[in-house]
Amino acid sequence: MKLYRNRNFVVLFSDRLFTNFAEGIFYIAAMWSAVSLGKSAIYVGIAGFLFTLPEVLSVFWGPVIDSTNPKRILITSNLLQLCVFGGLSVLFWVKLVNLWIVLSAIFVSSLISEFTYPLEDVLLPKIVSENQLVTANSWMAISHKGAELLSKGLTGILISAFSLSVMYQLDFVAFMIPLFYLYLLKLESFRVSAPDKFDWNGYKQEFMEGVRFLRLPLMMWLVVPLIFLNFLLSIVLVNLPFLALQVGHGASSYGLMLAALAVGYLIGAAVINRLSNKFTVSKIMALCFVLSGLSWASVIFVRHNEWFVYACLLLSDLFIGALNVVFTVLFQTLPSKEMMGRVSTAIGSFVTVAMPLGALVGGVVGVSVSATTITTFFGLGLVTTGILYLFSKQIKKLPPVDHVNSDFLCQSQP
């Protein structure tokens, strides 16, 4: 059966498309609310902290997701999001909203979202055939980044023309659309039955197996630099609205900056397939990290022309998009199939563990340091990481990413 004739896949794809569109609107509207209501980078840092904290905690949601009907989770999540954005719309309309209400909404909405994202990986193998799984995942990735690109670029422009209240109303409508699609989802044939009693010891054992896997030398070399980079990335993202004020026209420039990053990411993810089998992992990582870093560091030299700034951001995330594909393949092929689930959740939590702290640090640093200076230091961090990967003995043992498997993990152990 063709994917476009698979009812469940079309429903899931449409749900992800509109949900990501709505979440992209909320991200820009909420961050700009923190800028306009808080008048300080510190409050934007707190907003970034609240956006990223639920992602760090997501590893603990596994038992809930595994023991609950996925359709029920998706519908309940959408209904809760409607309550959040409906409430914000009303409060903005009657002018009773304040910064702390917006910050609370950020945390609640982000927490709800972290229950829905893991369901894609759970549902896709059940609604498409095995030989269509790669194609299905590709389309889901396109829906994710495509919706993010459209929503962030559009919202940044609309904020400059309309009020924040209108943005939250638009978000409310955007979350209503996937709710109608979800009622068409047919999952009766594989409902999940909740266990009589939650096996805490079994859960703890599997969780620790994932953690121990990350302590292997090769995995440490892959994961630890990402923790450092995500820390720096959070600092940059918190100060991106102030970069938009410094080099552009405020909200519209902020939206275009995020759109440029998304476009670059899409291009990088699309072209890496043609290069991944020609270079070893260490060379690809070194090249992409260094070039991305140089692009970020160049922002300070072109800050007087906002279109050059957009070009630098696009180039920077082009290389990050390519790197993301490489890391995804490595994290899928290095562990055994039996370990993949627990390793995946462990990696997801560990690589983002420093992001909430980075957001808070970014808020404090942004008070006294210019946004262009911050982008320069982030660029230097990327360049340093690229050099580190180039000379790492563990990473240099890896062949082109297409030929990596779990055997290389065994070879990397002392």
Q: Is residue 200 part of a domain?
A: no
Alpha helices in 215-280 (DSSP H): 217-247, 251-271
pLDDT of residue 5: 78
Q: Is residue 196 part of a domain?
A: no
Q: Is residue 178 part of a domain?
A: yes
Q: Is residue 268 part of a domain?
A: yes
- Residue at a domain's end among 127, 152, 187: 187
- Residue at a domain's end among 187, 222, 247: 187
Q: Is residue 192 part of a domain?
A: no
Closest Cα partner for 25 from 100, 92, 109?
109
Distance CA 232, CA 254 (A): 19
- Is 236 found in the same domain as 177? no
Distance CA 387, CA 52 (A): 28
- Is 233 found in the same domain as 176? no
pTM recorded for the entire structure: 0.75
- Is 225 found in the same domain as 139? no
- Tokens representing 383 are 């360049």
- Is 217 found in the same domain as 138? no
Distance CA 162, CA 368 (A): 31
Give the number of other CB atoms < 10 A from CB of residue 142.
16
pLDDT of residue 279: 83
- Is 125 found in the same domain as 32? yes
Determine whether 153 is exposed, middle or buried from the number of CB atoms within 10 Å of its CB (0-12, 13-18, 19+). Answer: buried
CATH code, domain with 76: 1.20.1250.20
- Is 147 found in the same domain as 229? no
- Is 148 found in the same domain as 230? no
Q: 299-329 burial by CB neighbour count: b if 16+ within 10 A, else e?
A: bbebbeebeebbbbbbbbbbbbbbbbbbbeb
Q: Is residue 195 part of a domain?
A: no
Distance CA 358, CA 80 (A): 28
* Domain tally, the chain: 2
- Is 219 found in the same domain as 174? no
- CA 283, 313, 309 angle in degrees (round to 5)? 135
Which range marks the domain in which residue 152 is found? Answer: 1-187
CA dist list (Å): 9 to 2, 126, 394: 10, 10, 40
- Is 371 found in the same domain as 246? yes
pLDDT of residue 194: 47
- Residue at a domain's end among 187, 221, 242: 187
- Is 156 found in the same domain as 286? no
- Is 149 found in the same domain as 246? no
Give the number of other CB atoms < 10 A from CB of residue 37.
17
Q: Is residue 197 part of a domain?
A: no
Q: Is residue 199 part of a domain?
A: no
pLDDT of residue 407: 67
- Is 369 found in the same domain as 238? yes
Q: What stretches in the chain show pLDDT beneath 70?
A: 1, 59-68, 118, 121-122, 125, 130-135, 137-138, 141-142, 145, 153, 156, 160, 187-204, 206-207, 337-342, 345, 405-414
The answer to whether the CB of 170 falls within 8 A of the CB of 25 is yes
Closest Cα partner for 353 from 56, 52, 58?
56
